[in-house]
Amino acid sequence: MQLPENVLTCIRLLEENGHRAHVVGGCVRDFCLGKEPHDFDMTTDATPDEMREVFRGYRTVDTGIKHGTLTVLAGGEPLEITTWRVDGEYADHRHPQNVVFTKSLTEDLKRRDFTVNAMCYSPSEGLIDEFGGREDLAAGIIRAVGEPERRFEEDALRILRALRFASVLGFSVEKATADALREKKQLLGSVSAERIFSEWKKLLCGNSASRILSEFADVIEVFLPEADAARFPSLPENGDFLLRSLYLFAGVERAPERYLAACDRLRTDNETKRRGIGVLSHLTDSLSLSKTEILHILFEIEKDDTELLLDLRAALGKGKGEKEILQTVLAERIPYRIADLAVGGKDLTQRGIRGKEIGETLKDLLFAVMDGEVPNEKEKLLAGIARK
Ligand code: ATP
Ligand code: MG
């Protein structure tokens, strides 16, 4: 396992000071799967105070220190190193009330969510896999560490994490784990909206999202009752989050309102909300849109959103060839914004047009150009006004 230089430095420093240190969790899992890990987390028997001592020559950040995490800046990406710990009693199915540091690596690995996430590695000790993580990786299985019901009760976010990993990795959820997460699905109600949304995004974009959503539709319904579960089995190939989200709302009654309600409840970012509502509000039953209709949509929503709308229509089996029309319209630089017109407000004031009428006239002219009635040429446009 090839570790980055800063990770090796931190492991070496800890070991030189008599401690044990490993990379752990997602990075080990990804390595075993032959994937490039996107970050490295570390675990050590050194207490936070001992870590501070070991890393006194480095810049460190203390924000997670209460939970035993010190962030070390040793070149490369900031590295989070966490003292081996056992989670204390859980309050509200989400937060351990306190954490207790431990001198047992096994205890630290045991608190982790799934067997595939409970392995650690160091160059001096090799791979440590006490719960059959490698075997489950090879078989493509997400399995809770320990007794699944208790683990989901402790922290209900794990319910969604199980589905997320299965969707992203193309795995199945082991039977007892699947039964337990179904049994405990209502506990998702106690998980914060932000955490749900962040897992949901990854889950929905996974390669196996269609399969997992179909299999666990009853669980999804707990936090996203507005979505149309009948569409779960046929998500678009394209794994874009917004496209897939909107696909789940495309057929429901009062789609924009329901989408907005879901966004508000899940506290999504504004862009997810704004773009989604824009697209859903312009989604019609029409089988195909003309060039003029596409121009009108371009006038009302952003270019990217128009593209998204056409992708959504394609996913719904409509609008064959509409993407090509859009490309042509853009390549030909046909105006669809007031600013694209060959005349501006000043030209109109010079001709005695005032106030509100300026904007209205410009819009009329733009629509005349979009509809192919007048070419976008100054003389012709102004002649058009004179004739009014
Ligand atoms: P990703 O690729 O999304 O980063 P990851 O497995 O690294 O996946 P993180 O959320 O970064 O996930 O968590 C790092 C590790 O911490 C996990 O691999 C797991 O061992 C442990 N962990 C994270 N969240 C939980 C949780 N809710 N319950 C138990 N263990 C957890
Ligand atoms: Mg991670």
| Residue ID of nearest Cα to ligand 1 atom 9 | 26
Q: If DSSP codes are grouped into helix, strand and coil, which group holds residue 262?
A: helix
From 32, 6, 292, 212, select the one nearest 138 (Cα to Cα): 32
- Interior CA angle at 17 toward 15 and 21, to 5°? 30
CA distances from 245 to 23, 27, 67, 85, 228 (A): 35, 28, 35, 38, 10
What pLDDT sits at residue 96? 67
> How far does the centroid of ligand 2 lie from the alpha carbon of residue 37, in Å?
8
> How far does the centroid of ligand 1 lie from the alpha carbon of residue 239, in Å?
22
The whole-angstrom separation of Cα 56 and Cα 168 is 39
The whole-angstrom separation of Cα 28 and Cα 35 is 10
| Cβ 82 under 6 angstroms from ligand 1 | no
Least confident interval from 72-81, 249-258, 379-388: 379-388
| Cβ 164 under 6 angstroms from ligand 1 | no
Q: Look at residue 364 and tell me whether its pLDDT is greater than 90.
A: yes
| Cβ 85 under 6 angstroms from ligand 1 | no
* 188 φ/ψ angles, rounded to the nearest 5 degrees: -60, -25
CB 383 within 8 A of CB 374: no
Q: If DSSP codes are grouped into helix, strand and coil, which group holds residue 69?
A: strand
What pLDDT sits at residue 122? 98
Task: Enumerate the β-bridge partners of residue 127.
Answer: 121
| Residue ID of nearest Cα to ligand 1 atom 27 | 158
> How far does the centroid of ligand 1 lie from the alpha carbon of residue 26, in Å?
6
Indicate whether this model's pTM tops 0.75. Answer: yes
What pLDDT sits at residue 98? 76
Q: Look at residue 79 and tell me whether its pLDDT is greater than 60.
A: yes
Which numbered atom of ligand 1 lies nearest the CA of 161? Answer: 27
> How far does the centroid of ligand 2 lie from the alpha carbon of residue 229, in Å?
30
| Cβ 113 under 6 angstroms from ligand 1 | yes
What pLDDT sits at residue 39? 92
Q: Look at residue 26 and tell me whether its pLDDT is greater than 90.
A: yes
Which numbered atom of ligand 1 lies nearest the CA of 202? Answer: 3
From 34, 45, 49, 38, select the one nearest 11 (Cα to Cα): 45
205-245 residue pLDDT tens: 999 999 999 999 999 999 999 999 999 999 999 999 999 99
Query: In this structure, are strands 172-173 and 95-96 parallel, antiparallel, or unpaired?
Result: unpaired
What pLDDT sits at residue 251? 87
Q: If DSSP codes are grouped into helix, strand and coil, which group holds residue 344?
A: coil
DSSP alpha helix (H) spans, the chain = 5-16, 26-32, 48-54, 105-110, 133-139, 148-154, 157-169, 175-183, 193-205, 209-215, 217-223, 241-247, 255-266, 270-281, 291-300, 303-315, 322-331, 345-350, 356-370, 378-387
CB 299 within 8 A of CB 366: yes
What pLDDT sits at residue 59? 95
CA distances from 348 to 316, 353, 359, 361 (A): 44, 5, 10, 8
From the CB of residue 312, how many other CB atoms can be counted at a distance below 10 Å? 25
| Cβ 60 under 6 angstroms from ligand 1 | no
DSSP E strands, 34-173 = 41-44, 59-61, 69-73, 79-83, 85-87, 90-91, 95-96, 99-101, 120-122, 126-128, 141-142, 172-173
What pLDDT sits at residue 319? 86
More confident residue, 1 or 131: 131
Calculate mean pLDDT across residues 377-387: 84
242-297 residue pLDDT tens: 999 999 999 899 999 999 999 999 999 999 999 999 999 999 999 999 999 999 99
Give the position of tokens 């495309």: 250
| Cβ 256 under 6 angstroms from ligand 1 | no
| Residue ID of nearest Cα to ligand 1 atom 8 | 26
| Cβ 26 under 6 angstroms from ligand 1 | yes
Which numbered atom of ligand 1 lies nearest the CA of 164? Answer: 3
What pLDDT sits at residue 387? 54
Give the position of tokens 């931190």: 10
What pLDDT sits at residue 257? 96
> How far does the centroid of ligand 2 lie from the alpha carbon of residue 16, in Å?
26
CA distances from 352 to 214, 340, 379, 381, 387 (A): 63, 22, 16, 15, 14
Q: Look at residue 84 and tell me whether its pLDDT is greater than 60.
A: yes
> How far does the centroid of ligand 1 lie from the alpha carbon of residue 105, in Å?
16
Calculate mean pLDDT across residues 309-338: 94
The whole-angstrom separation of Cα 226 and Cα 236 is 19
120-140 residue pLDDT tens: 999 999 999 999 999 999 999
177-186 residue pLDDT tens: 999 999 999 9
10-24 residue pLDDT tens: 999 999 999 999 999
The whole-angstrom separation of Cα 153 and Cα 94 is 8
| Cβ 117 under 6 angstroms from ligand 1 | yes
| Cβ 322 under 6 angstroms from ligand 1 | no
